[in-house]
Structure 1
Amino acid sequence: MNLLKALLLDESGTILSAETALLGTLGVAGATMGLSTAATSVRDEMAEMAYAFRSLDQSYSFEGQRSGSAWTAGSKYVQPSAEESRERLRAQFEKEAQQQVAHDENEGPLLP
């Protein structure tokens, strides 16, 4: 009985419990912010990669060939200007980011 009474009156572990709860809360908050930052960084890197790929000029042209009764048609493709395409990509990324923010505010994170 004295042991039970001594355990009930012992408060030396109270501080450790409060510190553990505080550290746990800070850890979860830090991990959440870190993951959010990582997601934003990945999105930005993917956007930069899309801009880099779009900067490659893929225009081509070749003339048809004719030999006797056989022939092949020529073909040509002129790629739109990179500036115009990058502006369209930038607008699309901004639109998707705004949709993500609106969705997060209403229902939480949008998972891929």
Structure 2
Amino acid sequence: DAHRLQQVLANLLSNAAKFSPRGAAVDLYTERRDQHLRLNVRDRGPGVPAEFQPQIFQKFAQADASDTRQKGGTGLGLAISKELIEGMGGRIGFDSPPGQGATFWFELPLAGSATTDLPA
């Protein structure tokens, strides 16, 4: 579903721009992983705090949920993105080494490949 895929990509790019320092690059790149294509969005921000990582894809989840948080948003974008990607037979995740930003990614099966054999 091209429209839903654009929605996910727009969310990941928006988050990367929001959490990167002003003027910093956001990288977008793909890689083939067996019978899947992985799309990566890498930011230059502070990364995802370790204590927040387990709930990052839950609805309304935000690392800074205080009334004075620095970044806007509803906390729904990643939850919706997860639902959409999984509905297309894929999976979504992230890597965030401490102090090195974050790379959010999703994988989708290549055309003609099975949708049930995603690697763990």
Asked which structure has the greater RCO (Cα within 8 Å, sep 6+), the reply is 2
Structure having the higher strand fraction is 2
TM-score past 0.5 threshold: no
**TM-score of the two chains, using structure 2 as the length reference:** 0.26
**TM-score of the two chains, using structure 1 as the length reference:** 0.27
Structure having the higher helix fraction is 1
* Higher radius of gyration, 1 or 2: 1
